[in-house]
Chains A and B, each alone.
Chain A
């Protein structure tokens, strides 16, 4: 038996091995194309992830802004015309408007009564002044009449 031919096909060929090679060669591997899976495109997934992150950031920013607005004292918003506190706070971009104080009906009646009392007091004072003036005038004329010519 020729071992060299079996080992590396060198030397004198062995007829039986050659015959086996010929017969079994029909079963030899026939080259076929290999189908590799296509490379996965991660771009759409990245776009979705980026959109979600941006949306989350926007929501977080909005919540923070809302929290800051809510932390302002309620008095300032409820009574924006209070002259001590100042003009009302507003988150709108329009220029601040003058707020007229709200006057109730009772306030008005009290103010009217006070005005009438004041006018009455002024009239009384005026009458007293007139009376005093007349008395002064009468005394002066009686004095002049008594003077010798």
Chain B
């Protein structure tokens, strides 16, 4: 069985520090200690990084690729990050680093498939709530790239603006502007949709 040769890290079983928080002992971002621990062989430490950053990666992918592909891509991206972690120069920049990997992987996805992915009923979801969610997500995906990622992280993943800024490496001002302008465009689209 495939899992026999694998270490399965269950994020639900992990005691995880607050996202973007600081280690109480060293007053450093928790990512620095976790990255260092993983590089020294602590594989469980990577589980904590996974738990911290999986929602970010999930949101970035959800803003770009079909929903059915997102979960597998999240796994792939974290496996890739685990193998290439030694190439990360600044441990505190783990968030921006894995966000960049996720964006590049989304680009690769379309480059490889080279086909337009249509949203089927299955993708839209079975129940009414999910179907409505899929429709709104499509509206967000129609927004400029700078806005859609920030909006998905805020509205889907439930992150606050400061959390988005801390994890993606963007400035707080940029995130605030993106949220404001993106929300304005989304409201306009929603009004148009409801009017039709």
Which chain A residues have a beta carbon within 8 Å of chain B's beta carbons? 1, 3, 6-9, 16-17, 20-21, 23-29, 31-39
Contact = CB atoms under 8 A, between A and B. Distances in A.
Interface residues of B, number: 52
Contacts of B176: 3, 7
A27 B54 contact: no
A29 B157 contact: yes
Contacts of A1: 183-184
Contact of B180 (A6, A16, A26): A6
B94 interface: no
Contacts of A25: 156, 158
B11 A31 contact: yes
A32 B57 CA distance: 13
Contacts of A8: 160-162
A27 B82 CA distance: 26
Contacts of B134: 27
A27 B50 CA distance: 19
B9 A24 contact: no
B36 interface: no
8 contacts: A23-B132, A27-B67, A28-B156, A31-B54, A32-B71, A34-B11, A37-B79, A38-B6
Which secondary structure dominates chain B's binding surface? helix
A35 to B, nearest CB: 4
B130 to A, nearest CB: 5
A13 B8 CA distance: 40
B154 A6 contact: yes
Contacts of B156: 24-25, 27-28
A37 B176 CA distance: 39
Interface in B1-54: 2-3, 5-12, 43, 46-47, 50-51, 54
Closest 4 CB pairs of A and B: A29-B58, A7-B161, A35-B6, A36-B7
Contacts of A7: 160-161, 176, 179
Interface string B132-146: 111011000000000
A39 B3 CA distance: 13
A33 B157 contact: no
